[in-house]
């Protein structure tokens, strides 16, 4: 079990640039979650998918953020244009959807710095 | 009021001490309770997962849930320097709710 894989681990970009974060969930997990973590606000849910379908995107801050899950083994979170206040650690997590007794499994995150 | 409240610490203890970490919550519908450990520059990893009120033990770790008081705890016995991390509580009903985490340092 390779775990949830995220790339890149670190991203430094200038304000206004497009940023794309990538996630590969654990094989067999059909629920995928994107979180943002900051010191001030802790872990915030941005969006989650069940069977590749977005279920709840109410946590996406604004239209600059978008997420896709084209297949069961890949998801992207895109920020366009990026702003300094987007600087945070972005985590992807997965779990089996049809299990009522399964916690989230997290990747090691992407640390985003927007200058 | 936040759904889940957790004291951010930081908490510093000597090696071998018993550590108590706590969270309170407001939603009586929460059914599943978790503790995650997060090392610096890593993702949260699951430590303990409980469903009912009472205690669950796993090695040096004990998770305690008191649904009547809406209070959960994590106890670490014989704490080790390798336990130094941030501990997050989490609860679930339809979605996950996380505490902001307690930073723990165990001093050798």
Tokens of A49: 């998918």
Banded pLDDT at B31 (limits 50, 70, 90): confident
Q: Which of A29, A33, A41, A42 is the best substitution to test chain B (most B C-beta atoms within 10 A)?
A: A42
Mean pLDDT of chain A: 94
CA distances from B51 to A84, B70, B74 (A): 40, 13, 14
Residue A112 sits at the chain B interface (C-beta within 8 Å)? no
* First and final C-alpha spacing in chain A: 36
Banded pLDDT at B108 (limits 50, 70, 90): very high
Sign of CA pseudo-dihedral A103, B85, B8, A39? negative
Per-residue pLDDT of B81-105, as tens digits, reads: 999 999 999 998 888 999 999 999 9
Q: Which residues contact A12 (CB under 8 A, 6 or more apart)?
A: A113, A115
Is residue B33 over pLDDT 90? yes
CA distances from A33 to A29, A73, A92, B56, B68 (A): 11, 13, 6, 27, 30
Per-residue pLDDT of A39-88, as tens digits, reads: 888 999 999 999 999 999 999 988 999 999 999 999 999 999 999 999 99
Q: Which of B89, B96, B99 is the best substitution to test chain A (most A C-beta atoms within 10 A)?
A: B96
Is residue A97 over pLDDT 90? no
């Amino acid at each position: 079990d390779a775990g949830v894989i995220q790339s890149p681990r670190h991203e430094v970009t200038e304000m206004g640039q497009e940023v794309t974060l990538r996630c590969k969930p654990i094989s067999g997990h059909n629920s995928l979650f994107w979180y943002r973590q900051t010191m001030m606000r802790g872990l915030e849910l941005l969006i989650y998918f069940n069977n590749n379908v977005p279920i709840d995107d109410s946590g996406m801050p604004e239209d600059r953020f978008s997420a896709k899950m084209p297949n069961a083994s890949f998801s992207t979170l895109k920020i366009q244009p990026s702003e300094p206040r987007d600087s945070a650690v972005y985590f992807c997590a997965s779990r089996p959807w049809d299990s009522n007794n399964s916690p989230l499994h997290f990747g090691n995150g992407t640390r985003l710095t927007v200058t | 009021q936040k759904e889940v409240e957790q004291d951010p610490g930081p908490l510093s203890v000597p090696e071998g001490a018993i550590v108590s970490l706590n969270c309170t919550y407001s939603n009586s519908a929460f059914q599943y309770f978790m503790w995650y450990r997060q090392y610096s520059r890593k993702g949260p990893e699951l430590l303990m997962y409980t469903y009912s009120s009472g205690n669950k033990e796993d090695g040096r770790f004990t998770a305690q849930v008191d649904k009547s008081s809406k209070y959960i705890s994590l106890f670490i016995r014989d704490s080790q320097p390798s336990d130094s991390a941030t501990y997050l509580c989490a609860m679930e009903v339809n979605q996950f709710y996380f505490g902001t985490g307690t930073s723990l340092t165990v001093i050798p």
